[in-house]
């Protein structure tokens, strides 16, 4: 099962790099939450501000917008590498380390953090119930972020 879950999170990251956003969204359960808190110790999105706090319906709007030609923050589009490593699996929880390199409009920038995937089996398929990304510099000033982590 460890191999299956590891393959799942690696594929999820690759879908973002290949800009297959609709397929990426389909990996999330209907009641899923995609969350990037601002504080490393943040227990909930109700406690403090978040860089992203999106139930699937809101995430679906983000994904639909990513496909639009009039999204200025993605004109030109980004090229990214989501590097996932140090994968640890316990039941249906996957913990990993993430480094994202993003190249856009002549500049490269980097993000790094820890990721928690909470998964569920739905009709034989794995689905994401929670994806939490804790950036090491979550409190730092950030320029516009368009592609999810």
Q: Which residues bind other proteins (CB under 8 A)?
A: 36, 38-39, 42, 45-55, 57-58, 60-62, 64-65, 68, 70-73, 75, 139-146
Decide if 77 contacts 85 (C-beta within 8 A): no
Pick 62 or 120: Cβ nearer other proteins: 62
Residue 128 has φ and ψ, to the nearest 5°, of -85, 130
Which pair of tokens denotes residue 85? 């490593």
User: Quick one: 18 or 139, whose CB is closer to other proteins?
Assistant: 139
Which residues of 1-78 form beta strands (DSSP E)?
28-37, 50-55
Least distance to other proteins from the beta carbon of 26, Å?
16
Distance in Å, CB of 22 to other proteins, minimum: 13
**Residue 91 CB, nearest distance to other proteins (Å)?**
27
- Kindly tell me which of 73 and 87 has the beta carbon lying closer to other proteins: 73
CB-nearer residue toward other proteins: 75 or 86? 75
- b (16+ CB within 10 A) / e for 42-80: beebeeeebebbbebeebeebbeebeeeeeeebeeebeb
Could you tell me the smallest distance in angstroms from the CB atom of residue 40 to other proteins? 11
């Amino acid at each position: 099962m460890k191999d299956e879950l590891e393959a799942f999170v690696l594929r999820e990251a690759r879908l973002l790099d290949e800009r297959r956003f609709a397929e990426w969204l389909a990996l999330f359960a209907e009641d899923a939450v995609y969350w990037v808190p601002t504080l490393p110790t943040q227990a909930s999105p109700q406690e403090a501000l978040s860089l992203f706090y999106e139930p699937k319906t809101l995430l679906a709007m983000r994904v639909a917008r990513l496909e639009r030609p009039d999204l200025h923050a993605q004109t030109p589009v980004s090229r990214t590498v989501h590097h996932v490593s140090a994968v640890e699996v316990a039941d249906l929880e996957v913990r990993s380390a993430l480094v994202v390199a993003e190249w856009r409009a002549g500049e490269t920038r980097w993000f790094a953090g820890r990721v928690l995937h909470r998964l569920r089996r739905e009709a034989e398929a794995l689905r994401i119930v929670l994806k939490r990304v804790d950036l090491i510099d979550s409190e730092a000033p950030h320029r516009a972020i368009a592609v999810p982590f």
